[in-house]
């Protein structure tokens, strides 16, 4: 048997059965993630609304109070957005006026959302590796150090950039890049390595296993499509199962890839231990 082969069936079983056998833990974990998302949404809405009211003050300079009541209140904001939806050019001009003030706030809000999303993803990667290594984990493992999250954000940007460039080159190179470098997150979490070394580890462990990994990803894609027909209920299982399955494949491929040892041993002990 090719040393790069792993059992697709076992990878899927590990992901799905681990979630089912620890369903209370993962329900609690997803509840925490949901609260984080709701909290982030409320915070972002508050920031954007504060920016909008200041923006309304700039628009209404020298006007009577009715101007601010029309633009500065929540109802006024909704009214402007409705006008934009109806193609109202006047509303668009009003929105763009003093846009130099709104742009930085919108950009910071976007960066905050990106950072939070990446923090959750890295936390899920840690939990997936924990379950493979120790058959258990804790919810606090979801909360990762800022420096690791920052590395995850930068690495994700580079990863998506590689996929984008590869996709422009007749699509197939983009798919290959997505698979070959797809375990960079596990490498970042598992070893105290830099971003480039994480990509190197992913490329080495996936060499010779591209088609099998593609097959697993396609199967999980079907699970995600099924979520639309189950009102999202199946996503409760498939969401954590994906990270568990990735942990299984990463660990199995890493075990038969001695070429990665020189990179791993050049750094400190694994972060997840």
DSSP per-residue codes, 230-258: TTTTTHHHHHHHHHHHHHHHHHHHHHT-G
The pLDDT assigned to 268 comes to 45
What is the share, in percent, of the chain residues with pLDDT greater than 70?
77
Is the pLDDT at 259 greater than 80? The verdict is no
Number of H helices, E strands in the chain: 13, 0
Q: Residue 234's closest CA among 223, 246, 243?
A: 223
Phi, psi of 238 (to 5 degrees): -70, -30
Higher pLDDT, residue 119 or 55: 119
Q: What is the mean pLDDT of residues 12-19?
A: 95
| Sign of the torsion formed by the C-alpha atoms of 112, 186, 243 and 271 | negative
Task: Answer for the pair 173, 167: CB distance below 8 angstroms, yes or no.
Answer: yes
pLDDT of 73 strictly over 90: no
| Beta-carbon-side half-sphere exposure of residue 49 (alpha carbons within 13 Å) | 12
CA distances from 79 to 9, 49, 51, 205 (A): 53, 14, 17, 54
Which has the closest alpha carbon to 20: 241, 266, 254, 259? 241
Query: Does 12 score more than 50 pLDDT?
Result: yes
Average pLDDT, stretch 114-143? 96
259 closest CA partner among 213, 210, 212, 197: 197
Q: How many CB atoms within 10 Å of residue 154? A: 12
Predicted confidence at residue 222, as pLDDT, reads 86
Query: What average pLDDT score do residues 94-99 get?
Result: 59
pLDDT class for 21, splitting at 50, 70, 90? very high
Alpha-carbon distance values, 190 to 5, 125, 162, 186, 228 (Å): 21, 9, 22, 6, 33
In the block, tokens 């909360």 appear at 143
Mean pLDDT of the 27-49 span: 90
CB count, 10 Å around CB of 196?
12
In angstroms, rounded to a whole number, what is the distance separating the alpha carbons of residues 185 and 191? 10
pLDDT band at 86 (very low <50, low <70, confident <90, very high): confident
Give 215-233 pLDDT, tens digit per residue: 998 988 888 787 777 777 8
The more confident residue out of 136 and 103 is: 136
d(CA 3, CA 86): 60
pTM, entire model: 0.83
With contact defined as beta carbons under 8 Å apart, do 44 and 112 qualify?
yes
Contact 273, 191 (CB under 8 A): no
d(CA 268, CA 110) in angstroms, rounded, equals: 33
* pLDDT tier, 85 (very low <50, low <70, confident <90, very high otherwise): low
Residue 1 has pLDDT above 50, yes or no: no
Mean pLDDT of all residues belonging to the chain: 84
Q: What is the pLDDT of residues 172-218, one digit of tens each?
A: 999 999 999 999 999 999 987 899 999 999 999 999 899 999 999 89
Cα–Cα distance, 183 to 247 (Å, whole number): 9
pLDDT of amino acid 117: 93
């Amino acid at each position: 048997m090719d040393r790069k082969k792993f059992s697709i069936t076992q990878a899927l079983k590990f992901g799905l059965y681990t979630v089912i056998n620890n369903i209370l833990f993962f329900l609690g974990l997803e509840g925490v993630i949901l609260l984080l998302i709701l909290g982030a949404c409320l915070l972002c809405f508050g920031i954007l609304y504060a920016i909008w009211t200041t923006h309304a003050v700039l628009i209404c300079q020298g006007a009577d109070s009715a101007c601010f009541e029309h633009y500065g209140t929540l109802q006024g904001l909704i009214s402007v957005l409705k006008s934009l939806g109806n193609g109202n050019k006047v509303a668009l001009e009003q929105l763009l006026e003093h846009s130099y003030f709104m742009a930085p706030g919108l950009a910071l809000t976007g960066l905050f959302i990106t950072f939070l999303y990446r923090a959750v993803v890295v936390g899920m990667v840690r939990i997936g590796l924990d379950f493979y290594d120790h058959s258990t984990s804790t919810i606090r493992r979801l909360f990762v150090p800022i420096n690791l999250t920052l590395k995850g954000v930068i690495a994700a940007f580079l990863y998506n950039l590689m996929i984008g460039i590869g996709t422009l080159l007749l699509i197939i190179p983009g798919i290959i890049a997505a698979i070959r470098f797809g375990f960079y997150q596990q490498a970042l979490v598992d070893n105290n390595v830099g971003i480039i070394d994480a990509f190197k580890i992913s490329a080495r462990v996936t060499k010779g296993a591209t088609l099998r990994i593609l097959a697993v990803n396609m199967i999980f894609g079907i699970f995600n499509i099924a979520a639309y027909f189950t009102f999202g209920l199946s996503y409760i299982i498939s969401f954590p199962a994906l990270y568990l399955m990735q942990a299984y494949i990463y660990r199995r491929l890493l075990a038969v890839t001695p070429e990665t040892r020189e990179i791993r041993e050049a750094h400190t002990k694994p972060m997840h231990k």
